Structure formats: C-alpha cells, structure tokens
Structure 1
Amino acid sequence: MTVSRALTIAGSDSGGGAGIQADLKTFQELGVFGMTAITAVTAQNTLGVQGVYPLTIEALKTQIDSVAVDLQPNAVKTGMLFNAEMIQLVAERIRYYNWENIIVDPVMIAKGGQSLLQEEAVEALITSLMPLAKVITPNIPEAEVLTGMKIQTFEQKKEAAKKLFDLGATFVMIKGGHDPNGEVVIDLLYDGQRFDTFEGVRKETKHTHGTGCTFAAAITAEMSKGKSVREAVKTAKAFIQAAIEDQLGIGGGHGPTNHWAFKKNNITTV
C-alpha cells in the first residue's frame, strides 16, 4: 500500500480553525498522512490573536529534518513563517532535500487583522521562497503586498498574477474571497501562459477563519497523490466551498470552517 504524505510548515492555531490544525484536518479528510513542522505557537480563538510565540530556528530545522529523513513527504505546504530567518531556513531545507511539490501560502494577516508576518520578512518570502514554489496561493490583500499594486478589478487580478509569476512561482493562484464584487467568488490560476478560473457561490458568513490555510492544504493533499495542479485546485475549490457552506457556527467571532463537510456530503469532482 502506497500512502501519500504531506508536510505542513506553519504556525499552530490554538482555536483549531487555521494553521497546522486546519492543515492536518484537511489532509486527513482527503486521505493523506499529515506531518508538521511548527514555526510558532499562537494563542487565538474566533475573536482574535492573543499571542504569538515563535519557536527557535534550531527547533524548526530539527522538525523538518526529522520528517524528511524518515517519512519523506510527497508534497510540502508552507503557511505562517513569521520572520525572514525562518523563511530562509525553510527555503534552504527545500533545496537541500530537492523537494518539488511546494505549495506556498503567504500567510501575512490573521482574519481579525493582526499581522502574522514581520515586515522585513516579505522580501525574504519574495526572493528566497517564491522561486521554489510549484503553487503560490495569496488572497487579494497578500497579492497586493507582494506586487505593490491595488487589485480592484479582474484585469488587475490578472496583472498581479503575471507579476507574481515573474517572481518565480510555477503556478499562481489568487484567491477571490476578498473581492467585494459580485455573488460569485472567482479564484484565478495562472501558469505563465494560460488563465483558468474556478468559481463558487459566495456565502455571506463570518465563519471563514482558516479558509486560506484549508484551501492550500487541500491543494497540497491532492498534489501529494500525484494529481496535476489544475486537478488539485478543482478538488480544493470544492472542498473549501463545502467547508464554508456547511457551517459549524461556533465561537463569538470569525468561526472556523467545517473540515468534514466535503466527505460528509459525499462531494466528488469530475
């Protein structure tokens, strides 16, 4: 029996809705064995982030190496990397192990508005990590920071995708959840030549904590199985759509999505 394995290098969310907790739940629901290397422990709930406690560089490196030498992941996702030193370490380890299926979710800001990435780390993200990515999955605010441009129209979204592609990622996926226009959420995928769109009905809800982590984790899970990027994105879109629509309704603020909705509702993608 061949078991697909995925590693997430990210922060811990004590509230369980985002970060490594969301990633592991997503991997499990999609039939993939999940592993972690924790960059920071956060104290947070649906109301916000109460504290961020980064681990040492040595602790992060040792976690990555422990997983790499024995369990050998088929795909690797990065989430909250906190600072430039961590980003550079992760990039160095990716090169050292010659990993190819790298999904970079450039986590910068929590749902409540708190910064999760130090400002000086953005340059390291652009120069060290993005060139190693098979897929990068920014939302619109993150894409604006990475490109230095405002994104208010679909054409601007396409222009931003081109700029991000030029920074080195093989595929650019700009998520459309922050787009204020219309009743349809349109995610845009670009590979340097072709644009693909993935649409979903917008659901008005405050329970969207961890959507970005979950979406990128679903792409990672599917790619660890050997699926193409477009196949992986298609499944991830269906997974996150179900997770948002089948609400849990817990917490007094931005509640988490429902990670078991995809399997519970027997959703398939063709």
Structure 2
Amino acid sequence: MTPFPVPIALTIAGSDSGGGAGIQADLRTFSFHRVHGTSALTAITAQNTRGVTRVDLMPPESVTAQVSAVASDMRVDAVKVGMLAQRGIIDAVADQLGSLPVGPVVVDPVMVSRAGSQLIDDAAVAALRSRMLPLAAILTPNRHEARLLAGMDIETLEDMREAARRIHALGPRAVLVKGGGMQGALRGTDVWFDGAQLETLAVEPVETPNTHGTGCTLSAAIAARLALGSAPLEAVRLAKEYVTAALRYPLAVGHGNGPIGHFFPLNPR
C-alpha cells in the first residue's frame, strides 16, 4: 500500500514545560491540522501558568544539528520560527534556513512580551532584524514588537497600517501586525501587508483569562496551512479562525493564565 502523503512542518522554538506555548503548542497545532510536526529546540524553559522561573539556552550547534537532522531526511513543507533568544542561535538558524531546501518560513519575532517587556538584548534584536526578517514569508509581530521594528508608537488602526508598511520594507514578503495588545475596538484586529495588498482582519474578541500561547499557536497554524498548500493571506485567515475557536474553549489548568484549547473539537463541552 502506498503511504498517504502527509505535509511536514518544522518548528524552531523554545520548550514550555507547562505545555501552553512554544514547541508544545506548535506540535499540537500541527497535529490539529493533520500536519506532521518536527522540531528543533532553542531553549528549555521552566514555566507554568504563573510565569517563567528558568531559561536554559541550547548551544547554537545543537540547534543546527536538530534542523539538519530533520531537513536531511524529510521534505519540510513549511517552517515556524519562534523563540531564538540570542544572537548566536539567530545566526545559526538564519544560516541554515538560507541554505536548506525548506518551504515558506513564518517568523514569530519573539522580542517583546504582550505586556511590553523586552525579552532579548539589543544585539539579538539587531540580528533578528538583519538576518531573520529577509527570510520570512510571513512575519507576525505583536503590537510592541511592531513598535520596536517600525520605530513608532502604535495606538490607532492607521498606526498599525503604517507600521506594517515600514516593517515590510525591512525584508519580509508579508507582515501581519497583531492587535491582541490593542485597546477597545481594535483588540483582535490584525493588519496584513504584502507590498501590494493591505488588509484589516478583524474577529470578535473572546473574553477569557486563559490566553497563554495565542501568538505561538497563530504562527504555527499559519505554517500548517502553508504546508497544506494555502495561499499566504488565506493561511492567515484560516489560522485566525482556529485561534479564535481555541480561545472559546480554553483550559483552566493551574492557578494562573491557562492555555487555549488546541484540541477543542475533542472537548466534551
């Protein structure tokens, strides 16, 4: 019997011991979309729903070996890049993605938390800007990351549009400025720009305290959809629908900010 051809996606990101974000969220998202998930760990975090207590970075050579092991044996139809943490890892990943035969790359530029705290040093920010942005088929910065990359405050919808234009000029083929951190009616509104098409993508906000992993999940879902053959903007639309549905069925685990429900169709509710 001829094996059924399964799309393959690779996530290059950190591990979340609490299971709500990072590699764990990415692999669950790939599985939901019936895409075979492979991974390269960049960091191991000790965290739960209440926060992160320790981060151990992987040596760049280890990250390189993981990516090479996957790409030398399997067809990689799409790549999601998340937490890279430091310049050495960024350079290692950029070198490989620039030379290996992999599909479109979705970059979630993990630089600033949703609350506005910078997560990596200035050297790593510069490396992300110069090395990773030009490799991105789709870049998915949150409001604060977009502010850092575009060099401007983002308070209005027009600010989001201008930021998308400025960031697109830095090299990615398309930019999705996420509005999860925006206030009022703009919460849940994202802006897409690919150099020609400027789109406002809005969904009705879901009220829940359990939102951990939304950014990781969105970028992973976009990568999964690209691996399945969707056009870039359609992949984003479908990924947003998935994340919105998962937010409606969050998991109240732990004593803090729980994760969204990646496997919501299996939820008995």
TM-score (norm 1): 0.93
What amino acid is aligned across from residue 34 of structure 1 in structure 2? Answer: G
Matched pairs, number: 264
Does the 8 Å CA contact 1:49/1:114 hold for their aligned counterparts? no
Instruction: Give the CA deviation at 1:110.
Output: 4.6
Counting only pairs closer than 5 Å after superposition, residues 37-186 of structure 1 correspond to structure 2 as 37-110=40-113, 115-182=118-185, 185-186=188-189
Q: Distance in 2 between matches of 1:4 and 1:46?
A: 32
Q: Distance in 1 between matches of 2:148 and 2:58?
A: 25
1:187-222 deviation line (CA, Å, top 9, x unaligned): 111111211222111123221111000000000001
1:79-101 deviation line (CA, Å, top 9, x unaligned): 00010111111111011114340
1:85-137 deviation line (CA, Å, top 9, x unaligned): 11111111011114340000011245677654233200100101100110000
Partner SS state of residue 237, structure 2: helix
Q: Distance in 1 between matches of 2:171 and 2:137?
A: 9
What amino acid is aligned across from residue 103 of structure 1 in structure 2? Answer: V
Cα distance change, pair 142–111 in 1 and its aligned pair in 2 (3 A): closer
Q: Distance in 1 between matches of 2:123 and 2:254?
A: 33
Gaps of 5+ in 1: 266-270
Cα RMSD (Å): 1.6
Q: Distance in 1 between matches of 2:206 and 2:255?
A: 18
Does the 8 Å CA contact 2:114/2:144 hold for their aligned counterparts? no
Partner SS state of residue 98, structure 2: helix
Percent of aligned pairs sharing the same letter: 44
What amino acid is aligned across from residue 40 of structure 1 in structure 2? Answer: A
Partner SS state of residue 253, structure 1: coil
Instruction: Give the CA deviation at 1:148.
Output: 1.7
Gaps of 5+ in 2: none
From 4, 9, 17, the counterpart of 2:7: 4
Instruction: Judge which range, 177-186 or 105-114, deviates more.
Output: 105-114
* 1:241 and 2:244 are equivalent in the alignment: yes
Q: Distance in 2 between matches of 1:31 and 1:100?
A: 17
Instruction: Give the CA deviation at 1:142.
Output: 1.0
TM-score (norm 2): 0.94
Instruction: Judge which range, 115-124 or 147-156, deviates more.
Output: 115-124
